[in-house]
Structure 1
Amino acid sequence: MHHLFGIIPLPPPLQAQSLVYDLKARLDWGKPALTILDVRDRSLFNASHISGALSMPVHELIDRARTSLPLNRDLYIYGETDEESAEIANQLRAAGYRHVSEIRGGVSAWKAVGFPIDSVLTRAEI
């Protein structure tokens, strides 16, 4: 792939922990081949989440992941805290997922640098 200023560099390889800039670089590359998982409570997801993230709360995560995500898929996950993200990432790794990265700072860090956020309005809020 060529660009006016030369060759667009490949995005950084998946690491066990990612900064929001690493994920944004993957998304901007145009062929992300990844899934972003928000493992927080669904009400928090509905209020605000990283654009494109899927809601998979902790209590249903492993079962839903096994039925919908291939084991070799690049997964970027975030919870309410970095500690929660790390714990869930380890559960996914133990379940056989080989490419799991924790998004440091989660949705707060994503928002702080002005990257796109989505929200889901419930009928009561409309």
Structure 2
Amino acid sequence: MSNNPLGGVIPPQPPIDAQSNAHALKSRLEWGEPAFTVIDVRNREAFNDGHIMGAMTMPIEQLVERAKPALATTRDIYLYGETDEQTAEAAQQLRNAGFEHVSELKGGLPAWKAIGGPTEGIVESQTPPGADDYNVVARVQNHLETQQKDV
């Protein structure tokens, strides 16, 4: 017998895809799914200016040495960098270091912001909210439009 009292009630989370779009990550956040980490591999200044809410900063040059002691190799990890190429390079570093559940967030921060994902940081806090932030109808319309975008 397993020591998980909810075993059989809550199905195990399927493995995450090697690449994810912003919608996949946002839906996990909105459903309150536990046990995943978002890592921003851009430099510290870019991270401080603005990043996905709750993301950890681990610049690509220090990624493996910082991730190894901080995260279990079985944890779901979503990564993003300045470009999809930098993101792919960072993901490969983690996979080579033994991390099993690494997903590249396609489009990075711009894709996240395009679907209204929450952000934090110096520049982000000074940016006025979009006109649709207080308009539910516009937000729903925007959501429907971004669902059809290939980010």
TM-score under structure 1 length normalisation: 0.83
Q: Would you say the 8 A contact 1:11–1:25 is kept in 2?
A: no
Among 71, 81, 89, which residue is 1:87 paired with? 89
Point out where structure 1 has 5 or more consecutive residues left out of the alignment: 1-9, 122-126
Q: Would you say the 8 A contact 1:12–1:26 is kept in 2?
A: no
- 1:49 corresponds to which letter in structure 2? H
- 1:115 corresponds to which letter in structure 2? G
Query: What pairs with 1:1-126 in structure 2 (closer than 5 Å)?
Result: 13-120=15-122
Deviation at 1:120, TM superposition (A): 4.3
- Specify the alignment match of 2:8 in structure 1: none
CA distance in 1, matches of 2:15, 2:60: 26
CA distance in 2, matches of 1:96, 1:60: 16
Change in Cα spacing, 1:11 to 1:48, as seen in structure 2 (3 Å) is farther
**Kindly, what percent of the aligned residue pairs are identical?**
53
- Specify the alignment match of 1:4 in structure 2: none
Query: Relative to total residues, which structure has the larger strand share, 1 or 2?
Result: 1
Q: Would you say the 8 A contact 2:15–2:101 is kept in 1?
A: no
Deviation at 1:112, TM superposition (A): 1.3
TM-score under structure 2 length normalisation: 0.70
SS of 1:90's equivalent? helix
CA distance in 2, matches of 1:50, 1:12: 23
Deviation at 1:40, TM superposition (A): 0.1
Query: Relative to total residues, which structure has the larger helix share, 1 or 2?
Result: 2
Point out where structure 2 has 5 or more consecutive residues left out of the alignment: 1-11, 124-151
- 2:62 corresponds to which letter in structure 1? E
Q: How many positions carry a matched residue from both structures?
A: 112
What's the C-alpha RMSD, in Å, of the aligned pairs? 1.7
Q: Which of the pair has more CA radius of gyration?
A: 2
